[in-house]
Structure formats: C-alpha cells, structure tokens
Amino acid sequence: MSTEVRQMFSSIATRYDVTNEVLSFGIHRLWRRAAVRLSGAREGNAVLDCATGTGDLALAFKRTVGASGRVMGTDFCKEMLDNAPAKAAREGLQVEFQVADAMALPFADNTFDVASIAFGIRNVDDPVKCLKEMARVVRPGGRVVVLEFGQPTGLFGGLFRLYSKVIMPAIGGLLTGNRAAYEYLPRTSAAFPAGEKFLSLMEQADSYKERLAHPMMFGTSYVYVGTVR
C-alpha cells in the first residue's frame, strides 16, 4: 500500500493545501490547534511531526515551542514536503523537514518530547508498528498525539458520509485532477478504527501507560493522546 499511497499524494501535492482548505471549510486548522493543545507541548520542547505533508501541524507546534524549541517534520512523500520549507520561511519559523517513513524513523530513542501524526496513520502499512516507533523516539513521560478522522453517527453522520462519498470526490477531483485520490481518502477514513477501537491499537503497541481519545465535531475526528512508558 505504501507505494500506491506515495504516488497518490505525489500527484495531488501541488494542489493539496488549496483543496484541503476548500473541502474542510478551514476546520482542519481548529483540529490541529486542538492536537497541539492536548499534546501538552510547551516552550523549549522538541517535537516530531510524522506524515507532516506540507507542514501545517509542524508549523503549529513551532509557534508553541518557540525559538528555543525544535520541530522536525517528516513525510515519506518528497513531493508533499517540497513546499513545506517555503511555507515555514514565509511565517518566519525555523522548522526542519526530512523524508522519512513513520514506521522506520531515523532518530535515536528518547529524542523528542512529543511526536504527532495528523490524518496519516491510516495510510501506513502497520498502524501498531507506527505507534510503537513513534513512542520509541519520545522520552518516557512524553506524548504521542494522533489526529485522525472518525465515523460520526446519527443524522450528522449520515450527512457527513454523503459529503465524503459524493461531494468530496467531485470537488477534490475538480481541483486536483485526481478524483480517485479523493475517493480513497474518505473510504479509508470510514474503514479505519476510531474511538475505543483505535485506543485498542495503542494498547497493542504496548508503549503507553495512558491512552485517551478526545472526539471533535460529533466524532468527525479524534485527537488521541498516549503517554509514553
């Protein structure tokens, strides 16, 4: 799956930010802010953002940890990373970016205070391995934060599924020229474990002494926070 996903993101990289803004109505910014807040990151911390894409969450963390902190953004798709350094420079933020696989991170144990991944863990071949690897590079007592879509229920859930299956592919395809990518993204979101089911994946990783799920917007997304053993 990794090769196919990398090729897919490569094909939409140049239009990813614009399309994401349109499809989410800007709400993704609020979710990322919530992820940073719930991570407990503070000034001077070292943060790793996996599957950073064009760097939005990495930049949000940098604003929190300040000049004395360090933020490293990694992604396995070079094309997604290409625009991230310029985006950071425009905001006057010093963030490091590196091509790396979230399941085989090129960092020593206990390097970071926080590790995060936003809307990326469902795209890795082995989510449990990814959760173990992220915990490995975080110091004991530090936190791993996962922001991912959920499956809302009730009337809102029905509207969300209609939007995801019909409207999102149409608009995403129009803006990027790759309708298949925007059929893949909601399909994988709908199939990926959410809420308590995702917490069970964190338990399987056997790397966390505490695991919490924070639902947002009626369960449309979740921020999961694991405290590393």
75 carries a ligand binding annotation: yes
Instruction: Pick the closest to residue 69 from 92, 50, 48 (CA basis).
Output: 48
CB 127 within 8 A of CB 121: yes
* Cα–Cα dist 120/129, whole Å: 14
Cα Rg for the chain, rounded, in angstroms?
Answer: 16
Instruction: Pick the closest to residue 87 from 64, 122, 57, 50 (CA basis).
Output: 57
188 carries a ligand binding annotation: no
19 carries a ligand binding annotation: no
Say whether 218 sits in a helix, a strand or coil: coil
User: Cα 93 to chain center, whole Å?
Assistant: 20
Q: What is the 3-state secondary structure (H, E, C) of 119-158?
A: CCHHHCCCHHHHHHHHHHCEEEEEEEEEEEECCCCHHHHH
Question: Which residues neighbour 26 within 8 Å (Cβ) at sequence distance 6 or greater?
Answer: none
Question: Which residues neighbour 112 within 8 Å (Cβ) at sequence distance 6 or greater?
Answer: 45, 46, 47, 48, 72, 137, 138, 139, 142
* Cα–Cα dist 136/207, whole Å: 8
List binding-site positions: 54, 75, 101-102
List binding-site positions for S-adenosyl-L-methionine: 54, 75, 101-102
